[in-house]
């Protein structure tokens, strides 16, 4: 292969322009960027939780920082999108570089010691150590972690407002294809970030995951600086409007279909992402299944793996169906109508989830509120830290919150199966897992199937509803339209919506510690009902948007 150019530099630049700095590579890099930023953000929240578990900060710090991130997105989202619209590749570089730098600064303030939360026995060594007063890194580390979380939130806005619109402007016929891949990553691989980093976040080697995610983010920041503002396939468009901030924002706010569709996206985002935050709590409350420490009989590893494949495959159907079929891509009204119809199915499937349940039997100490049984009061259990880890008393068939709450002082390992002995509550022996494990296995399996279907179907609805935003405005207004929509979504979903779901969690909580609910009552099905109502509202609003006339200058 002969490379054009007189010098090595010219040949290298020709190689980059021909094989690396292409629209397909930009799309590929953008996909990797979204995934890495989500993973970095997930690890930051886990590190914040690690300090909270030690008692250095409130257990609710994760929730409050998420709400703060929503407020920041709401306040700065529109300005961020408009400010970088002229040179979007450099705007991406700036925000990625800021997030990576903050992520690397965390490494300068290491944790004093590792302290994994282990399930404890009655009278055994505590599963936690006392707070080390000599850990002087707590305050600066917490500040940098919070800053990194906020920068990651703004970086995700830039990925959509600058990265997606860059792709769509160059190849509008494949807009749904570009949008669909990003949604697939967000709903499949992105939701697994916490599971991937949770084990390492409490160990001495926590820095390895943080360093890897931060350095990969920096790598993508550098890569985007090489891309041109306009590629060869760019088609010039005459700009006949004022592109300053206030005139651009005024046009977007006065575009009725954009505002209406942003409300629909907010409702659907609340229904999905706020519910996902409580998925583990839901299966514990409704099926008495231990969610964090995997029991082979109730393991979700395979379901998590296949869930990603199902989500990607289902969204791919819509990507292919609505890409490269028209000269200018899918129309805004069509996208709104399809997104609304699909959201109806999301609402229906949430009703199915709410109806799924089983006879969980008796949980010792649980009435309206949970109180540790008197027979194990002397054990000094620190159950609030390691969470729900049920065992079944073999004689009484009563489920206990944990081996410690059952008063068990010994454990036998029978080929990987834990059998507890010398228990002071009810019986001398107890087995790992709730007594209702066998009766709840089928409903729990059905739950996992419909939970996967909900994520897949909602991904298709996100794809179609999101395409309305880039089809209902002029090319020059695409970034600010997405920034405006993300700001509204952040306010309604990640601030107001998250507070609503926190309220539901509080009202259905049976056992709380430090403001965090450790175990909910079965009435947590109200959360599914709320998500169903939100999804149905999104469908109605999206269908209204499909009937809204487009601006004459933007109709495709």
Domain boundaries, the chain: 18-229, 250-358+441-556, 374-435
Query: Is residue 2 pLDDT above 80, yes or no?
Result: no
Do the Cβ atoms of 545 and 261 come closer than 8 Å? Answer: yes
Do the Cβ atoms of 434 and 361 come closer than 8 Å? Answer: yes
Q: Which of 351-355, 406-410, 426-430, 521-525 has the lowest mean pLDDT?
A: 426-430
Q: How many Å separate Cα 5 from the centre of its chain?
A: 47
Query: Is residue 477 pLDDT above 60, yes or no?
Result: yes
The Cα–Cα gap between 10 and 279 comes to 54
pTM: 0.89
- Higher-pLDDT residue of 108 and 188 is 108
Do the Cβ atoms of 102 and 151 come closer than 8 Å? Answer: yes
pLDDT at site 112: 78
Do the Cβ atoms of 431 and 146 come closer than 8 Å? Answer: no
Query: Is residue 516 pLDDT above 60, yes or no?
Result: yes
Do the Cβ atoms of 196 and 36 come closer than 8 Å? Answer: no
The Cα–Cα gap between 332 and 529 comes to 30
Confidence of residue 4 (pLDDT cuts 50, 70, 90): low
Positive/negative CA dihedral, 347, 338, 34, 246: negative
pLDDT at site 37: 96
**Equal fold, 18-229 vs 250-358+441-556:** yes
What is 18-229's CATH number, 1.20.120, 1.20.1250, 1.20.1510, 1.10.3470?
Answer: 1.20.1250
Over range 348-374, report the average pLDDT: 90
Query: Is residue 5 pLDDT above 60, yes or no?
Result: no
Q: How many residues does the chain have?
A: 556
Q: b vs e for 430-455, b when ≥16 Cβ sit within 10 Å of the residue's Cβ?
A: bbbbbbbbebbeebbeebbebbbbbb
- Which residues pair with residue 519 across a beta bridge? 511
Identify the CATH number of the domain defined by range 250-358+441-556: 1.20.1250.20
Do the Cβ atoms of 265 and 492 come closer than 8 Å? Answer: no
pLDDT at site 294: 60
pLDDT at site 553: 54
- Complete DSSP assignment for 35-83: HHHHHHHHHHHHHHHHHHHHTSS-TTHHHHHHHHHHHHHHHHHHHHHHH
Over range 17-39, report the average pLDDT: 88
Query: Is residue 13 pLDDT above 50, yes or no?
Result: yes
Q: What is the pLDDT of residues 208-262, one digit of tens each?
A: 999 999 999 999 999 999 998 888 777 777 777 888 899 999 999 999 999 999 9
């Amino acid at each position: 292969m002969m490379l054009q150019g007189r010098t090595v530099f010219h040949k290298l630049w020709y190689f980059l322009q021909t094989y690396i700095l292409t629209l397909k590579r930009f799309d590929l890099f953008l996909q990797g960027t979204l995934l890495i930023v989500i993973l970095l953000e997930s690890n930051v929240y886990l590190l914040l939780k690690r300090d909270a578990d030690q008692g250095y900060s409130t257990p609710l710090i994760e929730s409050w920082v998420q709400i703060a991130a929503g407020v920041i997105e709401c306040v700065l989202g529109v300005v961020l999108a408009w400010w970088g619209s002229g040179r979007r590749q450099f705007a991406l570089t700036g925000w990625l570089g800021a997030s990576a730098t903050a992520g690397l600064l965390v490494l300068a303030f290491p944790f004093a010691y590792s302290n994994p939360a282990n399930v404890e026995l009655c009278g055994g060594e505590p599963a936690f150590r006392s707070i080390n007063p000599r850990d002087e890194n707590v305050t600066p580390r917490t500040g940098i972690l919070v800053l990194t979380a906020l920068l990651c939130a703004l970086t995700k806005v830039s990925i959509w407002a600058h990265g997606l619109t860059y792709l769509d402007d160059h190849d509008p016929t494949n807009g749904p294809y570009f949008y669909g891949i990003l949604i697939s990553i967000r709903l499949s691989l992105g939701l697994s970030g916490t599971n991937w980093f949770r084990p390492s976040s409490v160990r001495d080697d926590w820095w390895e995951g943080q360093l890897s995610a931060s350095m990969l983010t920096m790598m993508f920041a550098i890569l985007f600086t090489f891309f041109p503002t306009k590629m060869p396939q760019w088609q010039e468009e005459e700009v006949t409007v004022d592109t300053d901030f206030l005139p651009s924002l005024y046009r977007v706010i006065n575009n009725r279909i954009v505002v209406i569709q942003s409300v629909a996206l907010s409702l659907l985002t609340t229904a999905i992402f706020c519910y996902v935050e409580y998925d583990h709590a839901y299966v514990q409350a409704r099926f008495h299944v231990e969610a964090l420490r995997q029991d082979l009989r109730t393991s979700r590893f395979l379901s998590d793996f296949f869930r990603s494949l199902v989500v990607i495959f289902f969204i791919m159907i819509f990507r292919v169906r609505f890409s490269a079929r028209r000269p200018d891509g899918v129309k805004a009204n069509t996208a709104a109508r399809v997104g609304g119809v699909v959201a109806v199915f999301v609402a229906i499937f949430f009703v199915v989830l709410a109806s799924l349940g089983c006879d969980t039997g008796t949980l010792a100490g649980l009435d309206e509120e949970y109180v540790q049984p008197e027979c194990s009061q002397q054990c000094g259990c620190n159950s609030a830290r390691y969470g729900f880890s049920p065992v079944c008393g073999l004689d009484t068939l009563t489920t206990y919150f944990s081996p410690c709450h059952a008063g068990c002082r010994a454990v036998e390992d029978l080929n990987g199966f834990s059998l507890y002995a010398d228990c002071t509550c009810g019986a001398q022996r107890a087995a790992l897992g709730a007594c209702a494990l066998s009766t709840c296995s089928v409903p729990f399996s059905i739950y996992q199937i419909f939970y996967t279907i909900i994520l897949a179907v909602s991904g298709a609805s996100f794809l179609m509803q999101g395409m309305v935003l880039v089809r209902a405005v002029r090319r020059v207004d695409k970034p600010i339209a997405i920034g405006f929509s993300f700001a509204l979504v952040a306010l309604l979903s990640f601030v107001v919506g998250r507070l609503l779901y926190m309220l539901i969690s509080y009202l259905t909580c049976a056992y709380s510690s430090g403001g965090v609910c450790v175990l909910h009552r079965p009435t947590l099905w109200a959360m599914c009902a709320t998500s169903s109502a939100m999804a149905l509202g999104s469908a109605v609003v999206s269908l209204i948007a499909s009937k809204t006339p487009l601006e004459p200058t933007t109709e495709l």
